[in-house]
Amino acid sequence: MAARRSGSRLEGEIERCRGENQWERIPELVKQLVAKPLQLDDLSELLLGEAKLQQYLKENPIKQGSSPRGQRPRLAEVRKHLTAALERGNLKPDYQQEATLLMGKLCYVEGDYREALNHYSRVNLDEMQLVGAPVYRLSMIAEAYATRGLCLEKLPAASPSLSSRPADRDQEILTCYEKSGDIALLYLQEVEKALSAGLQNRSPKPGPVSQDQELGYFLETGLQRAHVIHFKNGNLTRGVGRFREILRAVETRTTQNLRMTIARQLAEILLRGMCEQSYWSPLEDPPPQSPLDDPHCPTRSSRDYALSRRPRVYSGEKYDANRDAVLSRIPEHNADRVISLQSASVVYDLLTIALGRRGQYEMLSECLERAMKFAFEEFHLWYQLALSLMAAGKSARAVKVLKECIRLKPDDATIPLLAVKLCIGNLHWLEEGERFAKMVVDMEDKAPEFRAKGHLALGLVYSLKATDASLRGLQEEYQRKALGAFQRAQSLSPTDHLAAFYLALQLAVSRQIPEALGYVRQALQLQGDDVHSLHLLALLLSAQKHYHDALNIIEMALSEYPENFMLLFTKVKLETLCRGPEEALLTCKHMLQIWKSCYNLTNPSDSGRGSSLLDRAIADRRQLNTMTLPDFSDPETGTVSTHTVRDSRIRSVCSTGLRGSFLISDLFRPAGHAFCDHFPRRRPSTASNTLCMVCSVHATSIAASRVEQALSEVASSLQSSAPKQGPLHPWMTLAQIWLHAAEVYIGMLKPAEALACTLEAASLFPLSHNVLFMKGQVAELRGNTEEAKRWYEEALSISPTHVKSMQRLGLILHQLQRYSLAEKVLRDAVQVSSTAHSVWNSLGEVLQAQGNHAAATECFLTALELEASSPVLPFTVIPRTL
Amino acid sequence: MLAMDQGVVEEWLSEFKTLPETAISSYASSLKEKGSLVPALYKVIRENYSDLLEPVCHQLFEFYRSGEPRLQRFTLQFLPELVWSYLSVSAGRDPHCSGCIEALLLGIYNLEIVDKDGQSRVLSFTVPSLSKPSVYHEPSAIGSMALTEGALANHGLSRVVYSGPHLQRETFTAQNRFEVLTFLLLCYNAALSYMTSSSLQSLCRLSSRVSICGYPRQQVRRYKGINSRMMVTSEFLVQLITGIHFALCNGESELGSKALDDVLYRAQLELYPEALLVGNAIKSSLCGAALKSNKEGTRSIQVEITPTSSRISRNAVTSLSIRGHRWKRHDAVDLGSPDELMEISEVDEGICTQPSAQGGSPPTIVVSNATTAVSGKLMGKGLRRLGGSRSSKEKEKEKEGGADQPSRKQSGNRAMSENLELLSLKRLTLTSSQSVPKAGTLSLSRTASAVFSRSFEQVSNALAAAAGAQQQPVPSNPVASPTPNHHHFSRENRYSACSLQEEHLSPIQHHQQQQRSPSISLHLAPDV
């Protein structure tokens, strides 16, 4: 084994071992060396001393922040070796220097800083050859600088070897550390190079080598102390500059951990200590002074770059963090897991802060999802994921994750509340919602405001269930429950306007108008400019037939919420009633203008990933357009492309004269309706609060739900930075505006214009039952009963519970004298919506025609009673969300 | 308001009016020296009915319009106070509403939403991509990434708009109020590091008050004043939190953490996920050291020297090793470089040498009752990695591991000390989801032989081939191991990525290796 090797070969081996920190092998090699006739005694002393010192340090690593201890027997041995090597003085100059440096290091380890400095001053560190030096020597020099810096820091200011002024001294310390850091990086790169070379021609086993590449205390200090001092002195500029220098060094395997740490720290600094204006790009020169009091104002481009910088730091991080994920659940690895979890969650937290303030929740949720490998039983990560999913609009998944959060932290009321919010908002998962809400209510020891919120949530769930219920008894049961819950919420938190408001709404839905008025007033006292309260107040007044008061309220509300389409729709209705259709048409025109100004701002960026919003919206619209039912046929729209249809419509609308010039053509100048990111936060997914504002219906047919699904996909892909008002998809809003205009025209007995408006809406949503219903109305107006019947039937085939269509269909059947069928349809309609007075009325007529006078009287009476309390639009128009 | 303060403000008002264009920048730098001016202005803003309010607002707007950054920042520092003043007035539905503050806020907003050419300003940033080189990294150095659809979709930098374009606003309405205020706070946050601590304090107070007014917590904070609830939006809260975060890290830790708590409280009640998300992140990232070190109120951020070496012990299963694992099993194209695997260097093998003695709760899956082929890899890498070194510790480990093994050898597959077995079983629990199919076992053990033949260099090629064949104990290098008959056996039906990875390095080199590193350990490859 111990084969004789030639001297140079042995030296090479020794050098390699030194470079690769294989100190254990040195003594053995030295033995071989000594056996040679060369004059190497001193060198072997040096080597032995070094090896022992390093071995000692390896076994007793110096902790950061603690001073090295005093003398130890093992160190004395080292000292003996080194002194022996130095004293005889017949070492080669290189080795002489090395010995001195080692001596200095030894002195530091022993705690004798002054002596260490003396040793260092004997060697001119600055003049030592770096290029072409053996690898181990680089490390030695780097350590020497670091040690020197440490000594300087430890010694009191008035040290003979230093200039007296503290500023210079600090500067010297900094220089030491910076040099040490630079040389350390060089060393690591050289090691890497040697290693890769070794891979090719010498060492087939990189394992042991790379495993030993741990930075010692001195190198770590050298690499990191400089910026620590910078930040301590409040010099962000130079600290950040230093960070960047380190990060820009060519990456090596060993530095990856260091880079990760540095990148994280840089990110922290950037987030905590800097802002866009004080940022400068790494490619520019840093500002001359500290940014804190510096007038440097970055140019536009640099600011853009600045912002881009931050996430970049993170994404690098992200990757590294992932790599170290300790998946192991073995108890032995718990400690490891905690560490990697901590560092990972720090990274993800920083990422959240950076992306959150920029509103990039979608991206964030994707990143956090990748963090889930750390997340077993870690509440924080689960919760953050849930929140990010929620913020990104991915409701269904968010609910699932929230469930896990509830399991991990069952006593936090916020989590089930968030779940309820999602369930009753977009998802319409009322059963789940009820479960979550009950969970909150059952948490007895919570603060009253949270309990009140729980009751409110429960009430909303019941209220929505009541709307959905098709059996009268069930409906009343839910309404009763909802009222109870709202009352409970209101008593628990009397200053919450929402509780009072929903109580009022619930009372209004069950047609207890005076009580509802009382509560809505209370809500308005608590929160004067709440749009929904104002809207409800107006509807309540209209139910009492105080149309002018209602209109005043609406106008007042509109002065605060000029772009709220729901208020505007109500206004159209009210104006038709008390100021005539001309006024209402003006409002429709106004709405179109608002729609344009709100949604026509182009969004120049690709938001999120890849395709732009605009493209997406257009694509989705095409999808909608091409999605036709087999029996749906409209020769006009079927053959002509939608755009030409629109143009012709506009022309016809203009020519027929929409009372003054209805200059809409410029509304649609760009081929795509560009709109900005004003999208509904409360994305409506059920027909009840989207497509059919006029009637509360939940779509049950497949086609309708497909439309819904497509729409909600569009909506979910949008950012959530939307105004709270206008919970409608822009295209739906537009369609609604057209339909309202059509309705006004029908009221004016102008079928041609009404049809034009309807076709506008149809070009957006050809399958909307509202559009079909309106077509039926137009046909009816033209006296074309058969056609009308067909339209109504189509509307019902899409949305079988569309009450208005049912009512009209029933009437037509009545006209056609098909009484029993008419009665069946109308009875179904009453079943769906028991408060629609017109349906009761029609039913009465049909029954009368059948000769069933007693029942007919009942119906008429009911209709009369209901009419006395019916608002212009159903109360359920008002969204019920948490 | 004291007469002195009034005098200061009046002087300030008149001074700027007479200023020539050219003197503006020197004036801007001299503003700092007027120590009593800023507090006096705060007083003016707080007292809503002061006669000075209108000229002050006007002058602040003039400052902002001048375009001189220092003057703009001078105005911006009052923004939180102005916002609070505006909100409190509008919440009180006071008829004497302070129109000039509204005008000032709207004025700043309308100036900021357009760029120099009058175009709508759109704030965007670039999302960096790891696949593109940057000043900080080269994509190749990070290791190869799988060429998945997702990776391709993310290829390239994408610009993301986070604010804008905005509409010009003439008046505040309930609808646009928070849109405007949010944008104003965004501008304020962009200049955060130039703000004085009084401005940061004012921001924290604003956040607290907006969040808790009208809620039961108001009593806790003992804030008297407005007690009706104010509406907020989620985006507004997020901007507030951003400012608070800066304040927290820059000397206002007490006020800041209170404000953060209040905002989070409100976000919980309003169920705003965005604000909760960012607030929670800040809270959890700040807990601990960062706050403590800032107690002395300096505006500096502390950084500690952190040990950089990875502290993950080698036999912890990391996502990385799992990933490697999967490659093999599916015989996928080998994309990974060996580098990726090598860098899990380890410091403490204390963990693996004293396993499970106390933590000896039975592992969840007990698959390997000697009949099944499945058994954990026994610290294969750990033992093999020793190279030439023979530290006493390693020897101990060997003894410990190998003490009773000769007898086990006869009993066939069960050649492991109990401790080690436990260990391996536990590791198994991790990977058992993809348990080895029978067919795969065979091929795996063949690869195993390749690994062995290379890593035990004293074994001749012929022997290695034999070792590959079946269950044959391979004697280790007698020099290297303490006693020749102490053998290690590891049943390598299941490989960690590490061992498999090595195989890819270069099978040719193992001749040279023979000369050099005397290696120690010995592996046995039993087949089914």
Q: What is the DSSP letter of B504?
A: T
Q: Which pair of structure tokens corresponds to residue B144?
A: 């190869």
Instruction: Give the integer Cα–Cα distance in Å for A111 and A108.
Output: 5
Average pLDDT over chain A, rounded to an integer: 72
Phi and psi for B125 in degrees, rounded to 5?
Answer: -145, 165
**What is the CA angle A35-A38-A43, rounded to 5?**
85
The answer to whether B306 faces chain A, any CB pair under 8 Å, is yes
Name chain B contacts of A447, Cβ cutoff 8 Å: 216
Q: Which pair of structure tokens corresponds to residue A596?
A: 């344009």
Closest by CA position to B46, among listed B8, B78, B14: B78
- What is the predicted pLDDT for the residue at A665? 34
**What is the CA angle B234-B239-B242, rounded to 5?**
125
End-to-end CA, chain A: 80
The answer to whether A712 faces chain B, any CB pair under 8 Å, is no
In three-state secondary structure terms, B318 is strand
Instruction: Give the integer Cα–Cα distance in Å for A476 and A467.
Output: 10
Contacts for A723 with CB less than 8 Å, ≥ 6 apart: A563, A678, A681, B175, B179
The answer to whether B309 contacts A421, with C-beta atoms less than 8 Å apart, is no
Q: Do residues A767 and A628 touch, judged by C-beta distance below 8 A?
A: yes
Which of these three, A181, A208, A233, is where a domain ends? A233
- What is the predicted pLDDT for the residue at A668? 35
Backbone torsion region of residue B496, taken as left when φ is above 0, otherwise alpha when ψ lies between -120 and 50, otherwise beta = beta
End-to-end CA, chain B: 92
Tell me the CA distances in angstroms from A115 to A104, A152, B34, one per residue in order: 7, 11, 52
- What is the predicted pLDDT for the residue at B518? 39
- What is the predicted pLDDT for the residue at B147? 54
Residue A703: which domain range?
Answer: 581-766
Between A256, A272, A387, which is nearest B249 by CB? Answer: A272
Closest by CA position to A765, among listed A624, A616, A631: A624
Between A251, A495, A526, which is nearest B141 by CB? Answer: A251
**What is the nearest CA distance from A839 to chain B, expressed in angstroms?**
37
Q: Do residues A177 and A148 touch, judged by C-beta distance below 8 A?
A: no
Q: How many domains does chain A have?
A: 2
Q: Which pair of structure tokens corresponds to residue A761?
A: 């809406």
Between A273, A356, A601, which is nearest B165 by CB? Answer: A601
Which of these three, A233, A255, A279, is where a domain ends? A233
Contacts for A580 with CB less than 8 Å, ≥ 6 apart: none
Q: Which pair of structure tokens corresponds to residue A227?
A: 């910026």
Task: Note whether residue A700 is domain-resident.
Answer: yes
Which of these three, A766, A784, A816, is where a domain ends? A766
Q: Omega into B165 within 30° of 0, i.e. cis?
A: yes
The answer to whether A315 contacts B129, with C-beta atoms less than 8 Å apart, is yes
Question: Which residues of chain A from 663 to 702 reach within 8 Å of chain B, CB to CB?
Answer: 676-677
Question: Which residues of chain B from 457 to 496 reach within 8 Å of chain A, CB to CB?
Answer: 479
Contacts for A440 with CB less than 8 Å, ≥ 6 apart: A413, A416, A417, A420, A446, A450, A451, A453, A454, A457, A458
DSSP assignment string, A376-397: TT-HHHHHHHHHHHHHTT-HHH
Start-end of H helices in A70-134: 73-88, 93-110, 113-122
Task: Note whether residue A536 is domain-resident.
Answer: no
Instruction: Give the integer Cα–Cα distance in Å for A878 and B11.
Output: 55
pLDDT in tens, A627-659: 322 222 222 332 223 333 333 333 333 333 333
Q: Which regions of chain A are under pLDDT 50?
A: 1-5, 158, 162-163, 202-212, 284-335, 602-728
The answer to whether A269 faces chain B, any CB pair under 8 Å, is yes
Question: Which residues of chain A from 389 to 408 reach within 8 Å of chain B, CB to CB?
Answer: 390-391
- What is the predicted pLDDT for the residue at A712? 41
Give mean pLDDT in consecutive 10-residue pieces for chain B, a chain of 528 residues. Answer: 80 85 83 85 82 89 89 92 89 68 92 84 72 62 52 59 81 89 92 89 93 86 80 92 89 89 93 93 74 45 55 48 48 39 34 36 35 37 41 46 43 42 40 37 39 37 42 42 41 38 41 41 39
The answer to whether B273 contacts A353, with C-beta atoms less than 8 Å apart, is no
Q: Name B126's bridge partners.
A: B159
- What is the predicted pLDDT for the residue at A51? 82
Contacts for A783 with CB less than 8 Å, ≥ 6 apart: none
CATH number reported for the structural domain that contains residue A93 in this entry: 1.25.40
Contacts for A559 with CB less than 8 Å, ≥ 6 apart: B173
Longest dimension (CA), chain B: 104
Task: Note whether residue A814 is domain-resident.
Answer: no
The answer to whether A210 contacts B345, with C-beta atoms less than 8 Å apart, is yes
The answer to whether B518 contacts A1, with C-beta atoms less than 8 Å apart, is yes
Instruction: Give the integer Cα–Cα distance in Å for A332 and A335.
Output: 7
Task: Note whether residue A612 is domain-resident.
Answer: yes
Name chain B contacts of A495, Cβ cutoff 8 Å: 214-215, 229
Task: Note whether residue A572 is domain-resident.
Answer: no
**What is the nearest CA distance from B509 to chain A, expressed in angstroms?**
6
**pTM greater than 0.80:** no
Task: Note whether residue A108 is domain-resident.
Answer: yes
Phi and psi for A411 in degrees, rounded to 5?
Answer: -105, 10
Contacts for A777 with CB less than 8 Å, ≥ 6 apart: A742, A743, A746, A754, A788, A808
Q: Do residues A739 and A622 touch, judged by C-beta distance below 8 A?
A: no
Task: Note whether residue A163 is domain-resident.
Answer: yes
Q: Which pair of structure tokens corresponds to residue A163?
A: 């200039």
Q: Which chain B residue shows the shortest CA-CA distance from A257?
A: B308
* Length in residues, chain B: 528
Q: Where are the domains of chain B?
A: 77-124+159-293, 319-515
- What is the predicted pLDDT for the residue at A365? 84
The answer to whether B162 contacts A360, with C-beta atoms less than 8 Å apart, is yes
Name chain B contacts of A253, Cβ cutoff 8 Å: 339, 342-343
The answer to whether B281 faces chain A, any CB pair under 8 Å, is yes
Task: Note whether residue A159 is domain-resident.
Answer: yes
**What is the nearest CA distance from A199 to chain B, expressed in angstroms?**
9
The answer to whether B377 faces chain A, any CB pair under 8 Å, is no
The answer to whether A248 faces chain B, any CB pair under 8 Å, is yes
